[in-house]
Chain A
Amino acid sequence: MERAAKWFEFKECVIVPKSTGKKAKNLKELRTLLGRVSDESIAHHTYQYFLSGRVLEYTNAFALWAGESLGEKGLSEHLSNIDPYSFSKIEALRHELLKAIDSRLSVLPRPRDAMAGDEFFFSESLTLTFPVRIRARNLAEFLMAVRYVDRSCIYYHFYEARRRLGGGADDFSKWFSASLGQEALAEKIGSIDPFMHTLDGIREHIAVAVEDEVRKAMEELSS
């Protein structure tokens, strides 16, 4: 097994949306375009949606639009329940999204139009990733850093890592396990449901779990 880096180097990514020029005014058009747009566009509206901070109600931009702009609450729930990280290829994710929309269209021959200006605008993204000059050598340093880094740092290591590493893994768990031998902590962080928390919520869960470990270590030392 490849040995992980000893330091944990915090990185961050920023996204500048890029228009594809394509827009859908109803479910039929969404279905057609969803079948044609680039993989980057699907990724922008699903994986990168977690950076928007609106995850508690909807978990991707398609669900948000179906729920808020078309009033398609049932479809919206269906789309929100699709876990993009369970697919190793975007094509499979695209297929699953299309399946949900097709299922709704089969009982909705004439879908309603969204209001003018409230269409679904397909975008891609320009993504820039960079280290934020913060490194942690141990859990105490990590705890200090994780409390204060920007939200996009949490996004990069907790959400973006899932796509990069595959298998539901995130950078934090990987470092706890591979570099610090903290298997239980890694498991605890790995079990945080990415769909049930905001980025600040994820940060808090991580900080609490790490603080527990730091406290335990301090107690062991002092006893």
Chain B
Amino acid sequence: MITDYAGISPRGDLLLLQRLGERLAGKSFLHVNSTRLGGGVAEILQRMVPILRELGIEARWEILEGDQKFFDITKKIHNALQGDQVEISPEMWEYHYEVNKKNAERLDLDADAVLIHDPQPVPLVLFRKRGRWIWRCHIDLSNPAAGVARFLKRYCRQYDAAIFSVAKFVMPMAIDQFIIQPSIDPLSEKNRDVRKEEIEETTGRLGIPQDRPIILQVSRYDRFKDPIGVIKAYRMVKKYNDCILVLAGSPATDDPEGEVVLKAVTDFAADDPDIHVLMLPPNSDRDINVLQRVATVILQKSLKEGFGLTVSEGMWKGKPVVGGAAGGIPVQIVNGTNGFLVHSVEGAAFRIRQLLNNPEMAQEMGRRGQDHVRTNFLMTRQIRDYLSVWYSLERKGKGKGKGVFLEP
């Protein structure tokens, strides 16, 4: 399986994975999160666990179980950590703990390394048996509700280390805190190469013409993704360049605002036949893949963003990306090199026009973007970094200096 990435991922990443695998072979590595399906974490774990096993590591993936009440509470905790001023009562924290305690009795937490994903299973650390415990936070903690962050830190401090996606998401704590960016899987349905027939079938079925340049934004119908701003930018562009706008999203069961925003978007699009507002079923990965491949310019005009991996997905298909300077988007777009960072509707419109009028520049930016993703945002790099952190924790206090040299 790891050999499938040869010629796609940087050779050094694959070699280091092998080297680290040799050193960690036979050891156990447990991942715990709260869902096996849906969301970026589950998507990556589905691919990562078999690769870790192939490297000789006894990797396991366990799911935290909880009832509706538990997940209502953890959704509130999630929102509070992302900045919503939500109160979490002592009873709610108590229930959060109790559900984790029950899971600790059910799950086998005995492992050499345990990676706990996100806040739902964070109290499991209180039931640790042995090994290195690492908390992997996938969400933006740069501006959390203070009381919620303070409470959460009681658990986090019990870990050996924490991992965040971007430096600005880090919550100051007296444990080692590493920065590991998320990644895309180049071999997944969403990112693999597609055949010409697949492109024809998908665009035909979705009713997307290919006779003019296509501007695409793939995102949930969420006001922070600014779909109305995207339509405004398209209308500014349309005065100068004939083009098509495609907005593609899927329903999110945990987002009650989704339908309201979708209605606002369809109302605002009115009867413009060149605006295609698509509500795709969940798991429409191949459709998304095709849309990104037929797009001329990809937009991610977010006002607020977690990491925004749709940017890397677009770049991987060799497309120039215009993105809002929010969350992890500036980490992916090097402004003016592999895309453009914008701060307004006008800025987005101007950059789209620039790209539509300079196809050579657009092509070159797309090429650089693909190269940037290859070096920095492929899944093999993320696994490499996880193993590097684990290995460095194993070696803590051993050897001279801070660096690690891996002899053959």
Residues of A within 8 A of B (CB): 12-14, 16-19, 21, 23, 40, 53-54, 116-119, 121, 123-124, 126-133, 149-153
Contact = CB atoms under 8 A, between A and B. Distances in A.
Interface in B115-150: 142-143
Interface stretch (B8-16, B91-99, B103-111, B188-196): B8-16
A18 B170 CA distance: 10
B179 A117 contact: no
A129 B405 contact: yes
Nearest to A43: B402
Nearest to B162: A19
A19 B178 contact: yes
- The 10 A-B residue pairs with the shortest CB-CB distance, nearest first, are A121-B167, A21-B172, A130-B406, A17-B179, A150-B12, A127-B403, A19-B177, A19-B170, A12-B12, A128-B404
B283 interface: no
B12 A126 contact: no
Given A19-B177, A121-B170, A150-B12, A129 B406 contact: yes
A14 B387 CA distance: 12
Contact of A54 (B15, B334, B388, B391): B334
Contacts, number: 91
Contacts of A152: 10, 12
B200 interface: no
Pick the most buried of A19, A21, A124, A132: most chain B CB atoms within 10 A of its CB. A19
Pick the most buried of A126, A132, A149, A152: most chain B CB atoms within 10 A of its CB. A126
B60 to A, nearest CB: 23
Given A21-B170, A116-B143, A126-B402, 15 more contacts: A16-B385, A16-B389, A18-B177, A117-B143, A118-B168, A123-B167, A123-B179, A126-B404, A127-B403, A128-B16, A128-B392, A128-B404, A128-B405, A129-B405, A129-B406
A113 to B, nearest CB: 15
A14 B13 CA distance: 9
Nearest to B180: A16
A174 to B, nearest CB: 19
Q: Please report whether the interface of chain A is mostly helix, strand, loop or mixed according to DSSP.
A: strand
Nearest to A11: B405
A116 B282 CA distance: 34
B164 interface: yes
B384 interface: yes
Contacts of B15: 12, 130, 132-133
Interface residues of B, number: 35
A131 B405 CA distance: 9
A2 B379 CA distance: 42
29 contacts: A13-B403, A14-B16, A14-B384, A16-B178, A18-B178, A19-B167, A21-B173, A23-B168, A117-B143, A117-B168, A123-B167, A123-B179, A126-B178, A126-B402, A127-B402, A128-B388, A128-B391, A128-B406, A129-B404, A130-B15, A130-B19, A130-B406, A131-B408, A133-B15, A149-B11, A150-B12, A151-B375, A152-B10, A153-B12
Interface in B158-193: 164, 167-168, 170, 172-173, 176-180
B183 to A, nearest CB: 13
A153 to B, nearest CB: 7
A121 B375 CA distance: 22
Interface string B378-394: 00000011001101100
A116 B304 CA distance: 12
Contact of B12 (A14, A17, A23, A123): A14
A117 to B, nearest CB: 5
A47 B385 CA distance: 20
A118 B330 CA distance: 10
Contacts of B389: 16, 126
A23 to B, nearest CB: 8
Pick the most buried of B12, B168, B334: most chain A CB atoms within 10 A of its CB. B12
A151 B374 CA distance: 12
A38 B13 CA distance: 28
B331 to A, nearest CB: 11
Nearest to B20: A128
A57 to B, nearest CB: 9
A19 B141 CA distance: 14
A126 B178 CA distance: 9
Nearest to A150: B12
Nearest to B368: A53
Contacts of A54: 334
B179 A19 contact: yes
A17 B388 contact: no
Contacts of B405: 128-130
Nearest to A131: B408
Contacts of A127: 402-404
A30 to B, nearest CB: 15
Contacts of B16: 12, 14, 128, 130
Contacts of B173: 21
Nearest to B392: A126
Interface in B174-229: 176-180
Given A54-B334, A126-B389, A18 B12 contact: no
Nearest to B142: A117
B396 to A, nearest CB: 11
B177 A40 contact: no
Nearest to B393: A126
A149 B11 CA distance: 8
Pick the most buried of A121, A127, A130: most chain B CB atoms within 10 A of its CB. A130
Nearest to A128: B404
Interface in B281-311: none
